[in-house]
Amino acid sequence: MRCKLKISAPALSALLALGLAAAAHAQGESYPEKPVTLVVAYPPGGSTDLTGRAVADQLSKKLGVPVVVENVGGAGGAIGAQKVSRAAPDGYTLLLGANNEIAINRLVSASVKYSYKDFTPLGLVASQPLVLVASVNSGVKTVDQFLKAVKAKPGHYSYGSSGVGTSLHLTGEMLKQQAGLFLTHIPYRGVAPLTTDLYSGNIDYGVFVLSSGLPHIRSGKVVALGISEKKRSAAAPDIAPLADNPQLKDLDISVWFALMAPPKLPDAVAAKLRKALNEAMQEPEFRKKLEDTGSTLASAKVDMAKFLVDETAKYQKIVDFAKIKE
């Protein structure tokens, strides 16, 4: 006589959930078993790439497997970021991303279908200020002179950035919003052509990522007016924050870099990666490498969920003010 065991639907669901949890735990226990790919959504050589390579080097040491950087450029970082958002949630494909591709792109481009919610955040790595510069030919050497000149001739002056909807563009628009300026944005295809036009006097002002701007500032090709973070940068302590000026006291924006994974990453795998990143951030060698590129190491105590919500809300206000759409 056979006895048929009947299992109710709720009980079956519970058993399946237990099985999945056990499998995820086992995966976390054995992770990593092979090389990890760290996607950087830009070509080699830029600030995101330099940060990514520093992170990859340290993660490799902490995890005990190779961590290989893969540069997947295009669409302002969206192609590489989207690749990671759609990757298998196994911890073997990660993103070292900047705020452009993680949080800003979705706000300015209808073609970007993912958002910061389509990732598992592992940790904030570093931030870097942007710097407002003036052409030597403009005769402007201070923030006060800049504000006075622009307000005296509304609509007469322009500022350049490396593209529409970038953190550089948003910095310029935040500056306009807070000081009540009428200043035209000119997007360029990168730092080199913007630098050429600033040096020749074809444009009066520009916004750079600090690491990109410093060589031109130090060589005297452009004049630094102020950085976009409220605190001074260790890479350029002589450049005061724009927020030191009363008209710009609330201006605080930066390029930041974060380690992200695909959505639904098992908790055990995420915990291992967060632990490895936190340990890496304690290494003096890692700190120095980031500071040499103009970045400031982030705090390991940052609540990433809150941070991403707050940053995206800040960008949304600027995008709405400037009516930025691609």
User: Model confidence over 4-22: pLDDT tens digits?
Assistant: 556 665 555 555 555 444 4
Report the C-alpha gap between 195 and 213 in whole angstroms: 9
pLDDT at 45: 87
For 322, other C-beta atoms within 10 Å of its C-beta total 19
Q: Report the length, in residues, of the chain.
A: 326
User: Which element (helix H / strand E) includes 228?
Assistant: none
- Report pTM: 0.87
Report the C-alpha gap between 326 and 321 in whole angstroms: 15
* Contact by Cβ (8 Å): 126, 119: no
DSSP 100: I
* Positions in the chain short of pLDDT 70: 1-28
Helices (H), the chain: 9-30, 47-63, 78-85, 99, 105-108, 143-152, 167-179, 191-200, 210-218, 267-280, 284-292, 304-322
Environment class of residue 63 by beta-carbon count within 10 Å: exposed (0-12), middle (13-18) or buried (19+)? buried
pLDDT at 22: 47
* Contact by Cβ (8 Å): 248, 103: no
pLDDT at 78: 95
**Digit-coded pLDDT (tens) for 55-69:** 999 999 999 999 999
